[in-house]
A and B are shown apart, each in its own frame.
Chain A
Amino acid sequence: MLNFTSPLFFVALALVACGLYILPGRWRAAYLLVLSYGFYAMVSVRFLALMVAGSLLAYGIGIGIANARSDSARVRLMLLGVGGLLGGIVVFKIGGAWHGWLLPLGLSYYSFKLISYVIEVYWDEDSVERDLTLFLSYPAFFPQIISGPIQRSEPYFQQVRALAARRLDSAQIEEGFRLIVTGLMLKLLVGDRLATLIAGVDAAPDSFGRIDLVVTIAGYTLQLYADFAGYTNIALGIGKMLGIDGPPNFNAPFLATNIQEMWRRWHMSLTTWLTDYLFIPLTMTMRRYGLAGLLLCITINMALIGVWHGFTLNYLIFGLMHAVYFSLTMLYLRYISPPRGKKAPPEPRLRRIARTAFGMVLTFALMSSTQIFFHSARFDQAIGILRQVFGLIPSGARSIGDIGPGAAETFVICALITVWAGCGAPGARRLSDRIAPVAPRWLQYGVGLFLLATLTPDSAGSFVYGQF
């Protein structure tokens, strides 16, 4: 019922959305709160209490900061709030990674939301939210609780207030529906299929050929994108149907020509959060140390992106690899790469295309190399894969096609679709408009739903990002 891919959930969603719009406006914030708490309670009442506690802490701190009369009081309160919330994350992450504790649902996501709120109030007292009902619904907002995106407080409060004052927005609801259908298609039809094939290789990687292993590693990136981007679209779509627009997580990441650009396009709600609340303050504080300081900030930032996913060695290495790639890219762009302005010497078209293509492929390859650590559960597994890729341990003779009938063909088709989607699905909108006279939108959605009903692999998929 709680799974964003189960049909039962969407039946409930339809009823819930009707309820929202039928209710008088002034009850809508409370309705969202009750829904979100009810949703969370179905998972764990104990952890709901934890979330409520954290929310009340942030609420109180926010009001405290806004009412504070001295700067030192404001700083102390802000540090108390941020420290408390961060402490909660750290305790559970360590418990989860080292003692096998069960993680509270959405801990990382709602804690980050609350931390961002506290810091925002600290920077600008006008950001404080005194309406308790409205405030409590922010961290708990159920479409975003499982795997994000991490929305900022200001746009959320603003939209809920607007929601209370208006009738339903038909275009927004349809857009939400479209996002849900396309998100489900990307996650269930493509992401889950890739996951099954990749699991087939993961079971015994050294029985596969080297080339097939490398292709599978590229598959890690593709599967993660299909799964997470698909899921994010579902979450954003659900939010939209309830009148709340959320921040996007992806912006055609496979079009990135360098790692720096890629991080502007991948898991954006997390990276913008870290930029605004960690990276910029940190670099401002360390501005004295020039380039060394900047490199240190990049390393800390990337390492934290890594361990945010879990306090394990693999995630840390993932982060550090990105720190190295990012730093090298930054240095290259600043000191080696020639200036490219609007009036720079014109580059031959072929050369520009080649350079862009090379950049995209290299960026994808670098990203995939870090995925070896992100994807593997244990350090020794990741090292084993690396050693096999570099020929230090022997590879087998199996190929992806040996996993099952049609496996190679399925992999290729899914990979192509994912690459196309990851490049921003060029042409999709135009095609949709072109066939609209013959196949209007509702028929297009209908076909999408039909494909979901008939092509979804029988096994239940899992949200990769739902464990964080």
Chain B
Amino acid sequence: MIIPRSIGTILASLAAALLLSTLACLLPDNPYQRFQLVDGTLFEPLRRGYERIHFDPAPIDVAIIGPSKTLLGLSAPGIEHTLNQAGQTAHVANFSVPASGRNVEWLMLHEAYKTKSPRVIVVGVYDSPSFYGHPSFRFVAPARDLAIQPAPLLHNYFKDLAYLPARQVLLTFARVAPGLTGLRDHFDPATYANTRADFTTGSFVMEGKTINMALTVPAAVLAGQTVVEQKATLLERLTRRFVNRGDEAVYMDQIVREADAHHSRILFVFMPVYNRKGELADRAWLMAHGTLLDNADISDHAEYFENWEHLNHTGATILSDRVAKALAKLLSEPAKS
């Protein structure tokens, strides 16, 4: 069968576009500008995290990673203070970011190890982790980590990869003309000092909503907020079954490997949720690779919660205290071999 000329032309043009897009993915970028892509979005803490790692000379002894539960629920200054009072000086940095997805948490840890040497990693765990990757991954992850992932066909893989050529073109343009893109190529200590690092206190805006950490919310209101879990569609269930174990499993594995390779200890903190005492799917595995801190008792107390899944200032102080005590033990142990 003779293929009509136009079909050949169309196929050739698609191939050309694909080739050009692949070449675009190879364009180098300035990582600092890359991390600024999340400025003005919910994921802005990632950019501050990058700055803490690369531009802040203070060391990092404890790195906290996790979703918004740990961002609002663990206070780095609070933990430092408690440790100080116990006679241990440790620098704590909280790299948590809203929305769930272990891949970006692993990325922040990986980034931290480039210039710092945290001795303990605190990981926020919970009973309903995401199967899919983090929505911010496509913005901040290096091209290599987007293209080559530890498990084949993680579910956001193609979606994230589709954005890569556009991102690299934008970042290349940003290196040439940073003013036109708003992505700074130099670090500004004044802005850094003014960016919020501790989300366990005060009042701030997230996703358009104002969150006041000093508030206590009545139990009835909290009870009404519980989100009903969406049933997965047939297609989703099929892919989960046959494709891979999902973001949580694959990237938690990577986090543990990364920590082990750098001889860091791991503290898993089971983040409390109001009035729900779920169970961790991989409790045994977690306990085999680190220390697990249970906090089921906190979930009974409505006065510790700002919303059904996030602690308020009181709750965060209590949890940070517990974590600090657990850290004191881990930090005083001899270094892992």
User: A: which residues have CB within 8 A of B?
Assistant: 168, 170-174, 177, 181, 404-406, 409, 441-450, 453-456, 458
Contact = CB atoms under 8 A, between A and B. Distances in A.
A409 B179 CA distance: 11
B238 interface: no
Nearest to A18: B7
Contacts of B179: 405-406
B166 interface: yes
B30 to A, nearest CB: 16
B169 A454 contact: yes
Interface of B: 4-10, 12-17, 19-21, 24, 162-163, 165-166, 169-170, 179-182
Contact of B180 (A181, A405, A455): A405
B165 A453 contact: yes
B5 A174 contact: yes
Nearest to B173: A406
Contacts of A444: 13
Contacts of B12: 442-443, 446
A442 B9 CA distance: 5
B137 to A, nearest CB: 15
A413 B17 CA distance: 23
A450 B7 contact: no
Contacts of B19: 446
Centre residue among B8, B17, B24 by max chain A CB count within 10 A:
B17
Q: Which 7 pairs across A and B sit closest by C-beta, in order of nearness?
A: A446-B16, A405-B182, A449-B17, A445-B13, A174-B6, A442-B12, A406-B180
B180 A443 contact: no
Contacts of B181: 405-406
21 contacts: A170-B4, A170-B5, A170-B7, A177-B9, A177-B10, A181-B13, A409-B180, A442-B9, A442-B16, A443-B12, A445-B10, A445-B16, A445-B17, A446-B12, A446-B16, A446-B17, A447-B16, A449-B13, A450-B24, A453-B166, A454-B169
Contact of B166 (A181, A447, A449, A454): A454
Given A404-B182, A405-B180, A454-B166, A447 B20 contact: yes
Nearest to A450: B20
Given A442-B13, A454-B166, 12 more contacts: A171-B6, A177-B9, A181-B13, A406-B179, A406-B182, A409-B180, A442-B10, A450-B17, A453-B21, A453-B166, A454-B170, A455-B169
Centre residue among B4, B10, B169 by max chain A CB count within 10 A:
B10
A458 B138 CA distance: 12
A189 to B, nearest CB: 11
Contact of A177 (B6, B20, B162, B180): B6
Nearest to B181: A405
B4 A168 contact: yes
Contacts of B165: 450, 453-454
Contacts of A405: 179-182
B17 A453 contact: yes
A456 B162 CA distance: 12
A445 B5 CA distance: 14
Contacts of A168: 4
A207 B109 CA distance: 44
B177 to A, nearest CB: 8
Contacts of A448: 13, 17
A7 B179 CA distance: 32
A23 to B, nearest CB: 15
Contact of A170 (B6, B163, B182): B6
Contacts of A442: 8-10, 12-13, 16
A405 B181 CA distance: 5
Nearest to B167: A454
A168 B3 CA distance: 11
A84 B181 CA distance: 54
A170 B3 CA distance: 10
Given A173-B7, A406-B181, A454 B24 contact: yes
A447 B13 CA distance: 8
Contacts of A181: 13
Contacts of B9: 174, 177, 441-442, 445
B4 A443 contact: no
A173 B6 contact: yes
B166 A455 contact: yes
A410 to B, nearest CB: 9
A174 B10 contact: yes
Contacts of B163: 458
Centre residue among B5, B13, B16, B19 by max chain A CB count within 10 A:
B13
A226 B76 CA distance: 51
A171 B19 CA distance: 25
A13 B6 CA distance: 15
A327 to B, nearest CB: 46
Contact of A443 (B7, B16, B162, B182): B16
Nearest to B166: A454
A117 B14 CA distance: 40
A34 B217 CA distance: 55
A446 B24 contact: no
A407 to B, nearest CB: 9
A171 B166 CA distance: 31
A446 B15 contact: yes
A168 to B, nearest CB: 6
Nearest to B19: A446
Contact of A454 (B7, B21, B180): B21
A441 B13 CA distance: 8
Contacts of A445: 9-10, 13, 16-17
Centre residue among A446, A448, A449 by max chain B CB count within 10 A:
A446
A173 B16 contact: no
B10 A446 contact: no
A240 to B, nearest CB: 10
A244 B163 CA distance: 34
A128 B15 CA distance: 46
Contacts of B7: 170, 173
A446 B14 contact: yes
B43 to A, nearest CB: 14
Nearest to B3: A170
A405 B182 CA distance: 5
B212 to A, nearest CB: 26
Contacts of B16: 442-443, 445-447, 449-450
A446 B24 CA distance: 14
A461 to B, nearest CB: 15
Nearest to B13: A445
Centre residue among B5, B6, B15, B19 by max chain A CB count within 10 A:
B6
Contact of B14 (A449, A454, A458): A449
A450 B18 CA distance: 7
A412 to B, nearest CB: 12
